[in-house]
Structure formats: C-alpha cells, structure tokens
Amino acid sequence: MAVNVKTQDFEEQVAKASGPVLVDFWASWCGPCRMLAPVIDQLAAEQTDVKICKVNIDEEPGLAQRFGVMSIPTVVLFENGQEKNRSVGLVPKEKLLALLGR
C-alpha cells in the first residue's frame, strides 16, 4: 500500500529515503487520479525495493507548489531526495515501470 505523505513528514519519507521513491500527486475530485490509484497500489505491492507515496494536493498545496505540479495526476521519481523523472496524466502501468527503469 502506498504511504500518504504530509508536508511535515515529506523530508523523512521522501527526501531522506534511501533508494528510489515514487510520489503520486493526486486529489480526490480528479477522475484520472482515481483511475491511477489502483495502479499505484499495485506497484507498491509488486515493487518492494521502491517506496511508493501519495500526496493529496488539496491537503498539501505547498508540496504541489514546491515541485511545480500544475496538472494531476503527476508522478515524480525521487532518488536521494532529488527529482529524477516525472510523468503527468493518466498513464499505463508500463509507463510507470519505465519511469522506474524497469
């Protein structure tokens, strides 16, 4: 299951994490976000070497602004606290796996 991340634990959960972290920026009112959610959960179950997190942009607008999230869903891959790659919009699981280099 993906970890819900808030502003106060973002540093701990994402920036200071060892290994890759995939962060899904989403909102409950966003249809494509709801369609992507099961794929994100599936990745969390299958890719045990990658931390999968979710950020609700309505609850954490500062994080969305900090990372320049203009459209959702936006999925950002972080490594060592740095953004390595991103995907915007509803994409198939294969695209997210490619984002991870799989």
Which residues form the catalytic set? 30, 33
Whether a cis peptide bond, with omega within 30° of 0, leads into 38 is: no
Torsion angles phi and psi, residue 71, rounded to 5: -135, 150
How many DSSP H helices and E strands does the chain contain? 4, 5
